[in-house]
Amino acid sequence: MVSLPRERNSIDYDDERLLEVGRSVLLMEAEEISRAASRVGKELVEAARIINRCDGRLVVVGMGKSGLVGRKIAATLASLGTPAFFLHAAEGAHGDLGMVCREDAGLFLSNSGQTREVLEVLPFFRRLGAPVIAMTGNTSSRLARDSDVVIDSG
């Protein structure tokens, strides 16, 4: 078995420097949350209504980093009592779409809004007549154009 060398950051910062960095990160995150709050509009209400009126489950679809975020969203909603599950877009194209029914709603996550595997799942929801919410950083993308509601995550 081959073992790869592991290098670790050996810089030893003092306590004050670590606190300074930690506070700086929290302030940057707070600023981004504030910017995100200013972008929220009626689309958030529309998305909430779709989810609330859904007689089935919320199917959260994504790939890559967006998929990791989607997995967390689905798990959080399910733990709070909203029936939800995560569908990996690549797996959807290989048989997992059988878990989706017309009573479900879709929450599609893609930063670019152009992720091929995510877009390949979208027509299936359309054929079922299931509503689709897109969460994307590209509101002019194909995903955004083909969805009922678009939440700007950019």
pLDDT in tens, 13-65: 788 989 999 999 999 999 999 988 888 899 999 999 999 999 999 999 999 99
**Cα torsion angle, 73, 79, 85, 88, sign:** positive
Structural domain containing residue 55: 42-152
Q: What is the CATH number of the domain that holds 46?
A: 3.40.50.10490
Please give the Cα distance from 59 to 123 (Å, whole number). 14
Please indicate, yes or no, if residue 2 is contained in any of the structural domains: no
- Residues 109, 72: Cα–Cα separation, whole Å: 12
102 in helix, strand or coil? coil
Please state the pTM of the whole predicted model: 0.84
Number of domains in the chain: 1
pLDDT of residue 94: 81
| 107 found inside a domain | yes
Instruction: Please state whether beta strands 58-62 and 132-136 pair in parallel, antiparallel, or not at all (unpaired).
Output: unpaired
